[in-house]
Amino acid sequence: MDPLCPQETGNNEVQFMHLDLASLCSVRAFASTFLRQEAQLHILINNAGVSAGGTTEDGFSLAFQVNHLGHFLLTQLLLERLRSCAPSRVVIVASSAHCAGRLRPESLGRPPSGLFSTFQDYCDSKLANVLHARELATREQGTQVTCYAVHPGFVNTSLFRHAPLWLKPLLLPLAWLLFLDASEGAQVVLDCATQDGLEPLSGRYFTDCGPRLPWPAGRDDRLARALWEGSERLVGLGAAGGHQEGHQEGHREGLAAPTAQ
């Protein structure tokens, strides 16, 4: 673990640690190293994302593993430290693309079929992000660990670097002209990580306009539970990982008016 250049960060305390979310082995190695070297953990931001086809060394679709499964495993491996350092927060960067997600518990992690399979895989992973936050918040009730899913807006990052060559001439000018820059996109993420008084809204979906209802699939507590249990199975965790008794269904409905995110 080496310090980043202070000239780049303006902070001598920032540290870099290698983590490859496309490798569950790398996630476990990172968590082991972090827990051994760092006694405190108050904020975990699951931010990495890709929109690309292919499969990982673990046999899962690339986007679903990087965007969801890797983050799910990382969060579970660090959960006891988050609890011991509570109050603490988990922020999961989702997307309005969850509106097109179609998660099927019996086929989690398999690349979707069809002409737009890469786009569908990305949308599925973003729906998984929303449901992960929802279920984690339910299971962590009473621990002072809270969780939030965030749509940061449309941000000009390298997310589209794997887009088909024919599509890039359309996407890149659009991104430069209309999308937020990275610092602007980070604001709502930082708000969910640091703003006082958000604890009662644990499990909610946020945009730059505040808490919003996600699309219907993102409010499906049965699907959230099935995703959690399926994710545990896929990454090799037992049912005890982060689970608490007293799961409640339909516990957050009607808290805000729906919006077309």
Q: Please tell me the distance from the alpha carbon of residue 243 to that of residue 228, in angstroms, as a whole number.
A: 10
Look at residue 251 and give its three-state secondary structure: coil
Confirm if 160 and 50 have CB atoms less than 8 A apart. Answer: no
Q: Which distant-in-sequence residues (6+ apart) come within 8 Å of 48 by Cβ? A: 21, 66, 67, 70, 71
Place of tokens 């969060």: 75
Which amino acid is it at 118? T
Which amino acid is it at 232? E
Confirm if 52 and 118 have CB atoms less than 8 A apart. Answer: yes
Q: Please tell me the distance from the alpha carbon of residue 87 to that of residue 28, in angstroms, as a whole number.
A: 24
Q: Which distant-in-sequence residues (6+ apart) come within 8 Å of 249 by Cβ? A: 221, 222
Instruction: Find the radius of gyration of the CA atoms of the chain.
Output: 18
At 145, phi and psi to the nearest 5?
A: -100, 120
Question: 205-207 and 210-212: which strand pairing?
Answer: antiparallel
**Is 122 one of the catalytic residues?**
yes
Of 60, 72, 122, 206, the catalytic one is: 122
Confirm if 241 and 80 have CB atoms less than 8 A apart. Answer: no
Kindly list the catalytic residues: 122
